[in-house]
């Protein structure tokens, strides 16, 4: 039976303190640096595909490996890191390196990658047109509003000839860094989790792979354009608070996440919409 606790962003905001004090499976005191690694390994994850991959491990591989695994689903991109930092959970699995670097820098957290597992290609989608050429002048495009994913979205559009970015546009590029915009596209900046829901309100939207899949979209089939997986820095990984890389439970999970069984599960289930990185 799937043993997953679903937590919405609103509930998390209201109950963050209580959760931080009482989260199951976090016996160690992160502030004191205790190395008590007893109890289940509690991992924060986005519902799709991260929690699905972890649930596969929990149901099929963990017991044989001697790992007691508990999965907590989060629908936002902030709480998994803050919960890992304060010890409410032991690890998280939802993000890429550019996003984590930006998060640590801005919030003073100390989260580090353990092992890279997969890539979710970013895609441009539309309910109104069937090709990028069909986008009309003045069309509105929704993009994620966090620094890393917005820049990533703009780079996707630039790679497909819709815009040209300034030469010095970096990993935090915004629409102000656009040098040429031949279709006079307008940009609607929304929370990444809302991009798929915005499709009926805009002409097109750039959507993170996990949110696309959660919305019933098949990136490999439905995207107008899809991010290239070649040499991508956006692989998603298992992460912990610095110092907890030595946790034997984390090491067991890292090995399982990069096992042949998990690779086959990802390839069979997601059909190119999620790509193993190992």
Q: Answer whether residue 20 shows pLDDT above 50.
A: no
Query: Is residue 193 domain-shared with residue 106, that is, in the same domain?
Result: no
Cβ atoms 94, 146 nearer than 8 A: no
Burial class (CB in 10 A: 0-12, 13-18, 19+), 197: middle
The domain total for the chain is 2
Give the per-residue pLDDT at 36. 72
Query: Is residue 86 domain-shared with residue 135, that is, in the same domain?
Result: no
Please give the structure tokens belonging to residue 35: 């190395």
Query: Is residue 209 domain-shared with residue 252, that is, in the same domain?
Result: no
Q: What is the mean pLDDT of residues 265-276?
A: 93
pLDDT digits (tens, 9 = 90+) for 153-165: 999 999 999 999 9
Q: What is the mean pLDDT of residues 70-95?
A: 97
Which of 189, 207, 226 represents a domain boundary (last residue)?
A: 226
Query: Is residue 115 domain-shared with residue 240, that is, in the same domain?
Result: yes
Give the per-residue pLDDT at 94. 97
Q: What is the mean pLDDT of residues 224-251?
A: 94
Give the per-residue pLDDT at 113. 98
Query: Is residue 117 domain-shared with residue 129, that is, in the same domain?
Result: no
Find the CATH number of the domain harbouring 162. Answer: 3.40.190.10
Please give the structure tokens belonging to residue 159: 């790679």
Q: What is the mean pLDDT of residues 239-245?
A: 98
Distance CA 3, CA 68 (A): 12
Q: Answer whether residue 12 shows pLDDT above 70.
A: no
Query: Is residue 221 domain-shared with residue 268, that is, in the same domain?
Result: no
The secondary structure of residue 47, as a DSSP letter, is I
Query: Is residue 148 domain-shared with residue 101, that is, in the same domain?
Result: no
Give the per-residue pLDDT at 57. 98
**Which range, of 89-93, 196-200, 244-248, 270-274, averages the lowest pLDDT?**
270-274
Query: Is residue 112 domain-shared with residue 237, that is, in the same domain?
Result: yes
Give the per-residue pLDDT at 229. 77
pLDDT confidence tier of residue 230, bands split at 50, 70 and 90: confident
Q: What is the mean pLDDT of residues 142-162?
A: 95
Query: Is residue 213 domain-shared with residue 248, that is, in the same domain?
Result: no
Domain that holds residue 205: 123-226
Cross-strand bridge partners of residue 142: 188, 205
Give the per-residue pLDDT at 38. 85
Query: Is residue 51 domain-shared with residue 138, that is, in the same domain?
Result: no
Query: Is residue 43 domain-shared with residue 95, that is, in the same domain?
Result: yes
List the strands of the sheet with 91-95, edge to edge: 4-7, 69-74, 41-45, 91-95, 236-241, 111-119, 275-276
Q: Answer whether residue 30 shows pLDDT above 50.
A: no
pLDDT confidence tier of residue 35, bands split at 50, 70 and 90: low
Query: Is residue 176 domain-shared with residue 149, that is, in the same domain?
Result: yes
Cα separations (Å) of 4 from 1, 47, 146, 178, 262? Answer: 9, 10, 27, 42, 19
């Amino acid at each position: 039976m799937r043993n997953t606790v679903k937590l919405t962003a609103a509930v998390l905001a209201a109950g963050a303190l209580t959760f931080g004090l009482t989260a199951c499976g976090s016996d160690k005191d992160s502030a004191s640096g205790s190395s008590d690694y007893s109890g289940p390994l509690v991992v924060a994850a986005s519902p799709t595909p991260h929690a699905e991959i972890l649930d596969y491990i929990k149901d099929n591989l963990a017991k044989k490996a001697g790992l007691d695994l508990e999965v907590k689903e989060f629908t936002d991109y902030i709480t998994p890191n803050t919960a890992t930092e304060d010890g409410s959970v032991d690890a998280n699995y939802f993000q890429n390196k550019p996003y984590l670097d930006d998060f640590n820098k801005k919030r003073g957290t100390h989260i580090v990658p353990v092992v890279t597992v997969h890539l979710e290609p970013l895609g441009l989608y539309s309910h109104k047109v069937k090709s990028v050429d069909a986008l009309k002048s003045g069309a509105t495009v929704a993009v994620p509003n966090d620094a890393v994913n917005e820049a990533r979205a703009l780079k996707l559009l630039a790679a497909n000839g819709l815009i040209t970015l300034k030469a010095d546009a970096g990993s935090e590029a915004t629409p102000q860094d656009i040098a040429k915009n031949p279709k006079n596209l307008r940009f609607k900046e929304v929370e990444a989790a809302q991009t798929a829901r915005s499709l009926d309100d805009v002409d097109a939207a750039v959507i993170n792979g996990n949110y696309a899949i959660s919305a019933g979209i098949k990136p490999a089939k439905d995207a107008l354009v899809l991010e290239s997986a070649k040499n991508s820095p956006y692989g998603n990984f298992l992460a912990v608070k610095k110092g907890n890389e030595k946790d034997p439970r984390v090491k067991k999970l890292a090995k399982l996440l990069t096992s042949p069984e998990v690779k086959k599960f990802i390839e069979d289930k997601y059909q190119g919409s999620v790509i193993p990185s190992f």
